[in-house]
Amino acid sequence: MDREKLFDVIKAIAKEIEAEKELLTDLDNAIGDGDHGINMARGFKAVLEKLPNLAEKDCGAVLKGVGMALVSNVGGASGPLYGTFFMKAGDALKGKMEINAADFLASFSSAVAGVKMRGKATEGEKTMLDALCPAERAMEEAVEGGKSLKEAVSAAADAARKGSESTKDIIATKGRASYLGERSLGHRDPGAVSSSLILLAIANTL
Ligand code: ADP
Ligand code: MG
Ligand code: MG
């Protein structure tokens, strides 16, 4: 993926988030405060506005810029978490003008590790990590198996979707949904769904 493709990917993510804003908000209405779709759409709108300023930058700096726009504009729990995600993804791609499958995996792994650290959370707590962690494993397996970047991200998107579905069966122990305890059962976690949508948008653009 060259930088032009990276910009296409970022625009596709923003489009997907805007299109699914209501779904994300409905999901957050059930087990949170009903703002996840609004938060994410506001953040990615700011990202789109910032993109022209990033046109001359390398892939790492572009993603770092995306992360910074998210931190300053998303708000809520997900702002710092997705902000960290993209900033860490960028750190791992410093100076690169192209991203191959191994680069993408390294960047994604570093991003997921950043989310874990920032949110002091692990898989199984009904958060975005329940989409991101299975996605990371699927991507790793695909890359190690010699698959292309598109194949690896598609496998990751599929695993993320399954992971986001499985959050229905998890009692939340992190974030707002944890206030509900067992009443969080039966609902998908909004952040896990947004993570899965982001991966789907990337896979479809590659
Ligand atoms: P808020 O809960 O502050 O309103 P959002 O609604 O935008 O923020 O985001 C909620 C999402 O953030 C949750 O669905 C969950 O996926 C994610 N989240 C919350 N806390 C954590 C955490 N500690 N680690 C990882 N993800 C988290
Ligand atoms: Mg919320
Ligand atoms: Mg909120």
Residue indicated by tokens 């991200």: 153
What atom of ligand 1 comes closest to residue 34's alpha carbon?
Answer: 6
Q: At 24, is the secondary structure helix, strand, or coil?
A: helix
Taking the chain (206 residues) in consecutive chunks of 10 residues, what is each chunk's mean pLDDT? 97 98 97 96 98 96 98 94 98 97 98 98 98 98 98 98 98 93 95 98 98
So what's the pLDDT on residue 165?
Answer: 98
Question: Which ligand has the shortest distance to the CA of 116?
Answer: 1
So what's the pLDDT on residue 115?
Answer: 98
Angle at CA 40, nearest 5°, toward 35 and 42? 95
What atom of ligand 1 comes closest to residue 79's alpha carbon?
Answer: 7
- Per the CB < 8 A criterion, the answer to whether 95 and 101 are in contact is no
Alpha-carbon distance of 195 to 189, in angstroms, equals 10
Please name the residue whose Cα sits nearest to atom 19 of ligand 1: 175
- Per the CB < 8 A criterion, the answer to whether 118 and 88 are in contact is no
Pocket perturbation via mutation, ligand 1, pick of 26, 122, 176 by most ligand atoms within 8 A of CB:
176
Pocket perturbation via mutation, ligand 1, pick of 174, 180, 187, 194 by most ligand atoms within 8 A of CB:
174
| Residues with CB in 5 Å of ion ligand 3 | 33, 35, 76
Alpha-carbon distance of 6 to 13, in angstroms, equals 11
So what's the pLDDT on residue 46?
Answer: 98
What atom of ligand 1 comes closest to residue 130's alpha carbon?
Answer: 16
Please name the residue whose Cα sits nearest to atom 11 of ligand 1: 191
ipTM above 0.95, yes or no: yes
* Pocket lined around ligand 1, Cβ cut-off 6 Å: 28, 32-33, 35-36, 39, 76-78, 81, 115, 119-121, 127-129, 174-176, 189-192
Centre of ligand 3 to C-alpha 31, Å, is 11
Per-residue pLDDT tens over the stretch 63-97: 999 999 999 999 889 999 999 999 999 999 999 99
Alpha-carbon distance of 119 to 189, in angstroms, equals 15
User: For the whole model, what pTM was predicted?
Assistant: 0.97
Centre of ligand 1 to C-alpha 12, Å, is 22
